């Protein structure tokens, strides 16, 4: 089975959605990035993170959907969950996350490994890309029930839990890689 991409510009809610997938659908997720959550076991357990094997593959539980986080553009016709956040907030959060390594102007102009916010969205084209669910970060925070319903319909899965054990704001706080 082809992996389902969980894509976003950095600091746009990808880890939040991974947490929702695990806590509310019992779906563990991987990442294209090795040691994505910095080896922080409590966070990895809460998010439902699956770390890479020694050969860089990811082993998903039997019968599970292979959902993989990425910030890099992926070609192909894989199903995709794309998370978008207000560009100003995403850039400010990315700057705070990298500070003082990358100046704010470089974040805005895309002079770093992830490029410009608008170019990221344009490359993924989540509105027109086939088999894509577009989630807005701000909407996730405002309407968890609507988000759960959208994910349930897109993934064709039953919701196993409607409540996250910790606040959504807690998980959206910066985690440094």
Compute the Cα dihedral for 6, 12, 15, 20 and give only its sign. negative
Give tens-digit pLDDT for 53-88.
999 999 999 999 999 999 999 999 999 999 999 999
Whether the per-residue pLDDT at 177 is higher than 50: the answer is no
Which residue blocks in the chain are alpha helix, DSSP H? 14-25, 41-47, 87-98, 104-109, 117-124, 137-142, 144-155, 168-171
* Interatomic CA distance for residues 73 and 78, integer angstroms: 12
Q: How far is CA 163 from the centre of its chain?
A: 19
25 touches 159 (CB < 8 A): yes
Q: Given this model, what pLDDT does residue 28 score?
A: 98
Residue range 11-35: average pLDDT? 96
Phi, psi torsion values for 42, nearest 5 degrees: -60, -40
Confidence of residue 167 (pLDDT cuts 50, 70, 90): low
Query: For helices 117-124 and 87-98, what crossing angle results, to 10°?
Result: 120
Give tens-digit pLDDT for 116-161.
999 999 999 999 999 999 999 999 999 999 999 999 999 999 999 9
Q: Given this model, what pLDDT does residue 123 score?
A: 96
* Interatomic CA distance for residues 137 and 92, integer angstroms: 15
Residue range 171-177: average pLDDT? 47
Confidence of residue 176 (pLDDT cuts 50, 70, 90): very low
Whether the per-residue pLDDT at 168 is higher than 60: the answer is no
* Interatomic CA distance for residues 6 and 127, integer angstroms: 15
| CA geometry: angle 93, 95, 97, nearest 5 deg | 70
70 touches 31 (CB < 8 A): yes
Q: Given this model, what pLDDT does residue 164 score?
A: 79
Question: What's the pTM value of the predicted model, to 2 decimals?
Answer: 0.92
Confidence of residue 18 (pLDDT cuts 50, 70, 90): very high
| CA geometry: angle 88, 133, 76, nearest 5 deg | 100
Q: Given this model, what pLDDT does residue 166 score?
A: 64
Strand order in the sheet with 80-84: 30-31, 67-70, 4-8, 80-84, 132-136
- Tokens, residue 146: 């609507």
3-state secondary structure of 91: helix
Give tens-digit pLDDT for 99-118.
778 999 999 999 999 999 99
3 touches 76 (CB < 8 A): no
């Amino acid at each position: 089975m082809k992996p389902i991409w969980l894509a976003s510009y950095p600091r746009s809610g990808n880890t939040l959605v991974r947490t929702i997938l695990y806590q509310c659908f019992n779906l563990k997720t991987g990442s294209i990035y090795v040691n994505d959550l910095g080896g922080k076991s409590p966070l990895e357990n809460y998010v439902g993170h699956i770390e890479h094997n020694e050969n860089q593959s990811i082993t998903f539980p039997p019968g599970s959907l292979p959902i993989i986080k990425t910030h890099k553009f992926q070609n192909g016709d894989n199903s995709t969950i794309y998370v978008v956040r207000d560009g100003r907030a995403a850039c400010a959060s990315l700057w705070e996350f990298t500070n003082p390594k990358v100046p704010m102007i470089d974040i805005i102009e895309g002079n770093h490994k992830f490029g410009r916010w608008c170019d990221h969205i344009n490359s993924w084209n989540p509105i027109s890309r086939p088999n894509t669910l577009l989630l807005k970060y701000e909407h996730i925070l405002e309407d968890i029930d609507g988000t759960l319903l959208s994910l349930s319909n897109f993934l064709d899965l039953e919701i196993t839990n409607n409540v996250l054990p910790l606040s959504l704001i807690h998980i959206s706080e910066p985690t440094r890689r």
